[in-house]
Amino acid sequence: MSHVGTPTGYDHSRTVLDTYRSIRLAIVLLVVLLAAALVTQAVAAGCWQTSISAYYWTAVHSVFVAVLCGVGVCLLVYKGSSPVEDAVLDFSGFLAFVVALVPTGREPICGGPSLPPEYLAAEGVRNNLLALVVAGVVAQVTYVVLVRRGAVTPEPSRAAAWVRAVGWLVIAVGVLVFFTEPDRLLTSGHNIAAPTMFLGVIGVVVLNARQAGRARERRAYARTYGVVAAAMLATLAAIGLLRFVVAREWDHAVVVAEALLIVEFAAFWVVQTVELWHVVDRRELMPADALDERAPLVARP
């Protein structure tokens, strides 16, 4: 007998699975959207800006902001395969909004359509960051209320609690700077939030490699995630080295490194989509003794 109010033949589990598939694929498609906008702008201009963040000031502006906000939403609503992964995803998702709303400094436009020279982002940034803070507070208060009423039962994890505490501390420092020294946040917020967000994403990739490595039949995926994480770390380090040490005279070193980082980010979600196509998260594929976050990295023979 079907449940009261549930249509005959309705498959709740299939709907949940389709939702998770859609979120993973949405992140990849958002990267494709950004890439298409960047290439279109570059073709129209006949040149490239020195960083992807610099395209905030070009005709790519709306897509740039929309894609980062879209990725932020996906990371926030996506439930990871462990409480720690979920905490890191939430932190990275929040930072994606900061990266979208706080632009990098304006550099000369090499060509093509762009925002007018008189466009001033500062007032809009202040307004939008305040809105982000308000939304974040409302979300956290709502979560606490739901937990206390028993509508939501968080998974017990001391490690996840520590990750969330560190994340909230970083965000609290940013909010404090926003209210006490807003000009400093406007000039440096993007350059701090962007690499921190990617470090969080790299952490997510590492966590996936670690969890997949606990089960013999998932080791191929574990190795793939490990390669992606190593590539992202190397690319992130290369951005700093190229910008400040090795190739200061090469104007496009950063945009090349950032493009690689975004491709690697998309590659992770493609691999995870393939691995988890038939399940909501990896815990459905793991043996019971491999689900403990304190278990060894690789399952015993």
Q: Over 60: is that where the pLDDT of 6 sits?
A: no
- CA angle at residue 67 from 63 to 72, to 5 degrees? 150
Q: Is the pLDDT of residue 48 over 60?
A: yes
Q: What is the pTM of this model?
A: 0.88
Mean pLDDT of 6-15: 68
- Mean per-residue pLDDT for 178-197? 88
> How high is the pLDDT of residue 301?
34
Residue 174, CB-side half-sphere exposure with 13 Å CA sphere:
28
Q: What is the pLDDT of residues 285-300, one digit of tens each?
A: 876 665 555 544 443 3
Q: What is the mean pLDDT of the chain?
A: 87
Task: Report pLDDT for 299.
Answer: 38
Give pairs for 118-125: CB < 8 Å, separation 24+.
Answer: 119/57, 122/186, 125/101, 125/186
Provide the 10 A C-beta neighbour count for residue 192: 17
Percent of the chain residues topping a pLDDT of 90: 57
What are 103-154's pLDDT values in tens digits?
998 889 999 999 998 888 888 898 999 999 999 999 999 988 998 988 878 7
User: Is pLDDT of 248 > 80?
Assistant: no
Given a cut of 80, whether residue 171 has pLDDT beyond it is yes
Distance from the Cα of residue 141 to its chain's centroid? 23
204 pLDDT exceeds 50?
yes
pLDDT at residue 32 is higher than 60? yes
Q: What pLDDT does 10 receive?
A: 60
Spatial CB neighbours of 42, under 8 Å, sequence gap ≥ 6: 48, 112
Give the least confident one: 66-75, 130-139, 183-192. Answer: 183-192
Residue 153: the pLDDT is 80
pLDDT at position 239: 76
The token duo for 189 is: 């917020």
| Cβ neighbourhood burial of 177 (10 Å; 0-12, 13-18, 19+) | middle
Q: Residue 8: pLDDT band by 50, 70, 90 thresholds?
A: low
Distance of CA 121 to the CA centre of its chain: 23
Which of the pair, 67 or 124, is modelled with greater confidence? 67
d(CA 30, CA 269): 11
